[in-house]
Amino acid sequence: MKARTIRLALMFLTLFCAIAIPARAQTGNAQDMLNQYVTNLQSNPSDTALREKIIALALTMDPPPEVPAEARRHQSRGVAAVEDAKGPGDFKDACNEFQQATTLAPWLANGYRNLAIAQDKAGMYDEALTSLRLYLLTRPSSTDADWAEDLKSKVEYRKERIAKAKEEENSPQAAAAREQKSFEDLLRKIDGRRYSYTNGIVSYVIDINGRFLTEGQIWPPDTGPNQAVHPGYNKIVSIEIQGRVTDYSESSQFKSEQIRFVTRFTISQEGDTITRHISSTSASFPDQEMVYYWQR
Protein backbone atom coordinates (compact mmCIF):
# COMPACT_ATOMS: atom_id res chain seq x y z
CA MET A 1 0.00 0.00 0.00
CA LYS A 2 2.80 2.34 0.91
CA ALA A 3 4.61 1.59 -2.38
CA ARG A 4 1.43 2.27 -4.32
CA THR A 5 1.02 5.63 -2.63
CA ILE A 6 4.57 6.58 -3.51
CA ARG A 7 4.02 5.57 -7.15
CA LEU A 8 0.86 7.70 -7.35
CA ALA A 9 2.66 10.68 -5.83
CA LEU A 10 5.49 10.38 -8.34
CA MET A 11 2.96 10.12 -11.19
CA PHE A 12 1.14 13.32 -10.13
CA LEU A 13 4.48 15.12 -9.67
CA THR A 14 5.56 14.10 -13.16
CA LEU A 15 2.22 15.26 -14.61
CA PHE A 16 2.44 18.60 -12.77
CA CYS A 17 5.95 19.22 -14.09
CA ALA A 18 4.81 18.33 -17.61
CA ILE A 19 2.12 21.02 -17.38
CA ALA A 20 3.89 23.68 -15.31
CA ILE A 21 7.18 23.80 -17.18
CA PRO A 22 5.59 24.50 -20.63
CA ALA A 23 3.37 27.12 -18.96
CA ARG A 24 6.43 28.91 -17.57
CA ALA A 25 8.14 28.55 -20.92
CA GLN A 26 5.07 29.99 -22.67
CA THR A 27 5.04 32.97 -20.27
CA GLY A 28 8.70 33.55 -20.98
CA ASN A 29 8.12 33.39 -24.74
CA ALA A 30 5.24 35.88 -24.46
CA GLN A 31 7.43 38.30 -22.49
CA ASP A 32 10.22 37.97 -25.01
CA MET A 33 7.79 38.61 -27.84
CA LEU A 34 6.31 41.57 -25.98
CA ASN A 35 9.76 43.06 -25.41
CA GLN A 36 10.57 42.72 -29.10
CA TYR A 37 7.27 44.31 -30.16
CA VAL A 38 7.83 47.25 -27.78
CA THR A 39 11.36 47.70 -29.11
CA ASN A 40 10.00 47.78 -32.67
CA LEU A 41 7.39 50.33 -31.66
CA GLN A 42 10.04 52.72 -30.36
CA SER A 43 11.24 53.29 -33.91
CA ASN A 44 7.70 53.79 -35.27
CA PRO A 45 5.29 54.99 -32.56
CA SER A 46 2.56 55.64 -35.14
CA ASP A 47 2.31 51.92 -36.00
CA THR A 48 -1.25 51.38 -34.77
CA ALA A 49 -1.37 47.80 -36.04
CA LEU A 50 1.63 46.92 -33.89
CA ARG A 51 -0.02 48.54 -30.87
CA GLU A 52 -3.04 46.33 -31.45
CA LYS A 53 -0.80 43.24 -31.48
CA ILE A 54 0.85 44.31 -28.24
CA ILE A 55 -2.49 44.88 -26.52
CA ALA A 56 -3.78 41.49 -27.67
CA LEU A 57 -0.60 39.75 -26.47
CA ALA A 58 -0.62 41.51 -23.08
CA LEU A 59 -4.20 40.35 -22.47
CA THR A 60 -3.03 36.72 -22.68
CA MET A 61 -0.29 37.15 -20.09
CA ASP A 62 -0.83 36.15 -16.46
CA PRO A 63 0.29 38.10 -14.58
CA PRO A 64 -0.07 41.16 -16.86
CA PRO A 65 3.17 42.82 -17.99
CA GLU A 66 4.64 45.30 -15.54
CA VAL A 67 4.38 49.00 -16.40
CA PRO A 68 7.85 50.59 -16.58
CA ALA A 69 8.56 53.38 -14.09
CA GLU A 70 9.34 55.76 -16.97
CA ALA A 71 5.88 55.17 -18.45
CA ARG A 72 4.28 55.95 -15.07
CA ARG A 73 6.36 59.13 -14.89
CA HIS A 74 5.07 60.33 -18.27
CA GLN A 75 1.53 59.48 -17.16
CA SER A 76 1.91 61.75 -14.13
CA ARG A 77 3.43 64.52 -16.22
CA GLY A 78 0.55 64.27 -18.68
CA VAL A 79 -2.00 64.53 -15.89
CA ALA A 80 -0.21 67.63 -14.58
CA ALA A 81 -0.26 69.17 -18.07
CA VAL A 82 -4.03 68.59 -18.31
CA GLU A 83 -4.63 70.06 -14.86
CA ASP A 84 -2.62 73.20 -15.71
CA ALA A 85 -3.85 73.54 -19.32
CA LYS A 86 -5.07 76.98 -20.40
CA GLY A 87 -5.58 76.28 -24.09
CA PRO A 88 -5.17 73.78 -26.97
CA GLY A 89 -1.40 74.20 -26.98
CA ASP A 90 -1.15 73.07 -23.35
CA PHE A 91 -3.27 70.01 -24.11
CA LYS A 92 -0.85 69.15 -26.93
CA ASP A 93 1.91 69.06 -24.31
CA ALA A 94 -0.22 66.59 -22.35
CA CYS A 95 -0.71 64.52 -25.52
CA ASN A 96 3.05 64.30 -25.92
CA GLU A 97 3.46 62.96 -22.39
CA PHE A 98 0.67 60.37 -22.72
CA GLN A 99 1.99 59.36 -26.13
CA GLN A 100 5.37 58.61 -24.60
CA ALA A 101 3.72 56.64 -21.80
CA THR A 102 1.77 54.48 -24.26
CA THR A 103 4.87 53.93 -26.37
CA LEU A 104 6.82 52.64 -23.37
CA ALA A 105 3.83 50.58 -22.20
CA PRO A 106 1.59 50.11 -25.26
CA TRP A 107 -0.88 47.94 -23.29
CA LEU A 108 -1.53 50.70 -20.76
CA ALA A 109 -5.30 51.23 -20.78
CA ASN A 110 -5.34 54.47 -18.75
CA GLY A 111 -2.65 55.84 -21.02
CA TYR A 112 -4.94 55.60 -24.04
CA ARG A 113 -7.89 56.91 -22.01
CA ASN A 114 -5.96 59.99 -20.90
CA LEU A 115 -4.46 60.44 -24.36
CA ALA A 116 -7.93 60.45 -25.96
CA ILE A 117 -9.16 63.10 -23.51
CA ALA A 118 -6.14 65.36 -24.14
CA GLN A 119 -6.34 64.90 -27.92
CA ASP A 120 -10.02 65.81 -27.87
CA LYS A 121 -9.25 69.00 -25.92
CA ALA A 122 -6.42 69.81 -28.33
CA GLY A 123 -8.73 69.48 -31.34
CA MET A 124 -6.89 66.37 -32.57
CA TYR A 125 -10.09 64.51 -33.34
CA ASP A 126 -8.78 61.77 -35.66
CA GLU A 127 -6.04 60.94 -33.17
CA ALA A 128 -8.55 60.91 -30.28
CA LEU A 129 -10.74 58.40 -32.12
CA THR A 130 -7.73 56.15 -32.67
CA SER A 131 -6.80 56.33 -28.98
CA LEU A 132 -10.37 55.48 -27.96
CA ARG A 133 -10.36 52.46 -30.27
CA LEU A 134 -7.09 51.25 -28.70
CA TYR A 135 -8.51 51.86 -25.24
CA LEU A 136 -11.53 49.69 -26.02
CA LEU A 137 -9.18 46.92 -27.19
CA THR A 138 -7.76 46.75 -23.66
CA ARG A 139 -11.13 45.34 -22.53
CA PRO A 140 -12.14 48.00 -19.98
CA SER A 141 -15.12 47.43 -17.68
CA SER A 142 -18.58 47.89 -19.17
CA THR A 143 -18.90 51.26 -17.41
CA ASP A 144 -15.59 52.48 -18.84
CA ALA A 145 -16.48 51.08 -22.25
CA ASP A 146 -19.74 53.07 -22.17
CA TRP A 147 -17.75 56.17 -21.23
CA ALA A 148 -15.43 55.60 -24.22
CA GLU A 149 -18.36 55.15 -26.61
CA ASP A 150 -19.93 58.35 -25.27
CA LEU A 151 -16.71 60.33 -25.77
CA LYS A 152 -16.34 58.80 -29.24
CA SER A 153 -19.76 60.18 -30.24
CA LYS A 154 -18.82 63.62 -28.93
CA VAL A 155 -15.48 63.61 -30.75
CA GLU A 156 -17.17 62.54 -34.00
CA TYR A 157 -19.64 65.41 -33.65
CA ARG A 158 -16.90 67.95 -33.05
CA LYS A 159 -14.92 66.58 -36.00
CA GLU A 160 -17.96 66.83 -38.31
CA ARG A 161 -18.71 70.37 -37.11
CA ILE A 162 -15.14 71.52 -37.87
CA ALA A 163 -15.26 69.84 -41.28
CA LYS A 164 -18.56 71.56 -42.07
CA ALA A 165 -17.20 74.94 -40.97
CA LYS A 166 -14.14 74.49 -43.21
CA GLU A 167 -16.36 73.47 -46.11
CA GLU A 168 -18.48 76.59 -45.65
CA GLU A 169 -15.36 78.72 -45.30
CA ASN A 170 -14.03 77.41 -48.62
CA SER A 171 -17.34 77.80 -50.45
CA PRO A 172 -17.62 80.29 -53.37
CA GLN A 173 -20.08 82.33 -51.33
CA ALA A 174 -17.67 82.67 -48.43
CA ALA A 175 -14.80 83.54 -50.77
CA ALA A 176 -16.93 86.22 -52.43
CA ALA A 177 -17.91 87.63 -49.04
CA ARG A 178 -14.25 87.81 -47.95
CA GLU A 179 -13.31 89.51 -51.21
CA GLN A 180 -16.11 92.03 -50.81
CA LYS A 181 -15.08 92.80 -47.23
CA SER A 182 -11.47 93.22 -48.33
CA PHE A 183 -12.62 95.62 -51.04
CA GLU A 184 -14.76 97.64 -48.64
CA ASP A 185 -11.85 97.86 -46.18
CA LEU A 186 -9.59 99.07 -48.99
CA LEU A 187 -12.05 101.78 -50.02
CA ARG A 188 -12.20 103.09 -46.46
CA LYS A 189 -8.42 103.02 -46.28
CA ILE A 190 -7.80 105.05 -49.46
CA ASP A 191 -10.78 107.41 -49.20
CA GLY A 192 -9.58 111.01 -49.62
CA ARG A 193 -6.18 110.09 -51.07
CA ARG A 194 -4.55 111.70 -54.08
CA TYR A 195 -2.22 109.71 -56.34
CA SER A 196 0.01 111.39 -58.92
CA TYR A 197 2.28 110.76 -61.87
CA THR A 198 4.35 113.37 -63.68
CA ASN A 199 6.06 113.32 -67.05
CA GLY A 200 8.09 116.45 -66.32
CA ILE A 201 5.59 118.87 -67.83
CA VAL A 202 2.13 117.96 -66.66
CA SER A 203 1.08 116.16 -63.49
CA TYR A 204 -1.55 113.46 -63.77
CA VAL A 205 -3.57 112.91 -60.61
CA ILE A 206 -6.15 110.44 -59.34
CA ASP A 207 -8.41 111.45 -56.46
CA ILE A 208 -10.39 108.89 -54.45
CA ASN A 209 -13.65 110.04 -52.90
CA GLY A 210 -15.78 107.29 -51.44
CA ARG A 211 -16.50 104.83 -54.22
CA PHE A 212 -15.43 107.17 -57.01
CA LEU A 213 -12.11 107.60 -58.80
CA THR A 214 -11.48 110.90 -60.57
CA GLU A 215 -8.59 111.32 -62.98
CA GLY A 216 -7.30 114.73 -63.91
CA GLN A 217 -4.32 116.75 -65.12
CA ILE A 218 -2.55 119.71 -63.55
CA TRP A 219 -0.91 121.99 -66.10
CA PRO A 220 1.69 124.60 -65.10
CA PRO A 221 0.74 128.29 -65.01
CA ASP A 222 2.72 129.09 -68.17
CA THR A 223 0.64 126.74 -70.34
CA GLY A 224 -0.04 128.46 -73.63
CA PRO A 225 -3.51 129.08 -75.07
CA ASN A 226 -5.16 125.77 -75.85
CA GLN A 227 -8.78 124.90 -76.46
CA ALA A 228 -8.44 121.51 -74.71
CA VAL A 229 -6.54 122.33 -71.52
CA HIS A 230 -6.06 125.31 -69.23
CA PRO A 231 -3.46 126.13 -66.58
CA GLY A 232 -4.21 124.32 -63.32
CA TYR A 233 -6.47 121.33 -62.80
CA ASN A 234 -8.36 119.71 -65.69
CA LYS A 235 -10.71 116.82 -65.04
CA ILE A 236 -10.44 113.87 -67.42
CA VAL A 237 -12.92 111.28 -66.14
CA SER A 238 -14.78 110.21 -62.98
CA ILE A 239 -15.90 106.58 -62.60
CA GLU A 240 -17.27 104.35 -59.91
CA ILE A 241 -14.75 101.93 -58.45
CA GLN A 242 -15.92 98.35 -59.05
CA GLY A 243 -13.09 96.51 -57.31
CA ARG A 244 -9.32 96.45 -57.20
CA VAL A 245 -9.58 96.46 -60.98
CA THR A 246 -11.94 98.90 -62.68
CA ASP A 247 -12.32 99.27 -66.45
CA TYR A 248 -13.99 101.89 -68.54
CA SER A 249 -14.07 102.28 -72.29
CA GLU A 250 -14.70 105.04 -74.81
CA SER A 251 -14.63 105.34 -78.56
CA SER A 252 -13.00 108.03 -80.66
CA GLN A 253 -12.80 108.84 -84.35
CA PHE A 254 -9.23 109.10 -85.64
CA LYS A 255 -9.04 110.04 -89.30
CA SER A 256 -11.28 107.42 -90.92
CA GLU A 257 -10.91 104.86 -88.13
CA GLN A 258 -13.27 104.35 -85.20
CA ILE A 259 -11.06 103.37 -82.27
CA ARG A 260 -12.15 101.90 -78.98
CA PHE A 261 -9.96 102.67 -75.97
CA VAL A 262 -10.09 100.61 -72.76
CA THR A 263 -8.59 102.08 -69.62
CA ARG A 264 -7.95 99.80 -66.66
CA PHE A 265 -7.22 101.12 -63.16
CA THR A 266 -5.64 98.60 -60.78
CA ILE A 267 -5.34 99.44 -57.09
CA SER A 268 -2.39 97.73 -55.39
CA GLN A 269 -2.93 95.29 -52.55
CA GLU A 270 -1.86 97.81 -49.92
CA GLY A 271 -3.48 100.75 -51.70
CA ASP A 272 -0.22 102.69 -52.10
CA THR A 273 -0.30 102.80 -55.92
CA ILE A 274 -2.82 102.82 -58.76
CA THR A 275 -1.73 101.57 -62.17
CA ARG A 276 -3.47 102.90 -65.28
CA HIS A 277 -3.23 100.73 -68.39
CA ILE A 278 -4.65 101.91 -71.74
CA SER A 279 -5.18 99.61 -74.69
CA SER A 280 -6.92 100.21 -78.00
CA THR A 281 -8.28 98.43 -81.04
CA SER A 282 -5.82 100.27 -83.28
CA ALA A 283 -2.20 99.40 -83.99
CA SER A 284 -1.58 103.13 -84.33
CA PHE A 285 -1.94 103.49 -80.56
CA PRO A 286 0.32 101.11 -78.64
CA ASP A 287 -0.56 100.17 -75.07
CA GLN A 288 0.44 102.65 -72.39
CA GLU A 289 0.90 102.16 -68.65
CA MET A 290 1.47 104.66 -65.86
CA VAL A 291 1.84 104.12 -62.13
CA TYR A 292 0.31 106.71 -59.82
CA TYR A 293 1.81 106.99 -56.32
CA TRP A 294 -0.02 108.06 -53.20
CA GLN A 295 1.07 111.52 -52.09
CA ARG A 296 1.41 111.02 -48.36
Give CA–CA dist 92/82, Å, rounded: 9
Q: Which domains does the chain show, CATH number per domain?
A: 30-167 (1.25.40.10), 189-294 (2.40.128)
Closest CA to 102 of 33, 52, 156: 52
Beta-carbon-side half-sphere exposure of residue 167 (alpha carbons within 13 Å): 6
Q: How confident is the model at residue 38 (pLDDT cuts 50, 70, 90)?
A: very high
Backbone angles phi, psi at 237, to 5 degrees: -160, 150
The region of weakest confidence among 16-30, 63-77, 125-139, 239-253 is 16-30
Give me the mean pLDDT over the 78-84 stretch.
95
Percentage of the chain modeled with pLDDT above 90: 71
The region of weakest confidence among 30-39, 63-72, 193-202 is 193-202
User: What per-residue confidence (pLDDT) applies to 20?
Assistant: 42
Give CA–CA dist 98/79, Å, rounded: 8
In order of 4, 35, 96, 111, the CA distances from 69 in angstroms are: 53, 15, 17, 13
Give CA–CA dist 25/193, Å, rounded: 88
**Number of Cβ within a 10 Å radius of residue 140:** 17
The region of weakest confidence among 10-19, 28-37, 168-177, 254-263 is 10-19
pLDDT tens-place string over residues 133-191? 999 999 999 999 999 999 999 999 999 999 999 888 888 988 889 999 999 999 999 99
**Number of Cβ within a 10 Å radius of residue 24:** 9
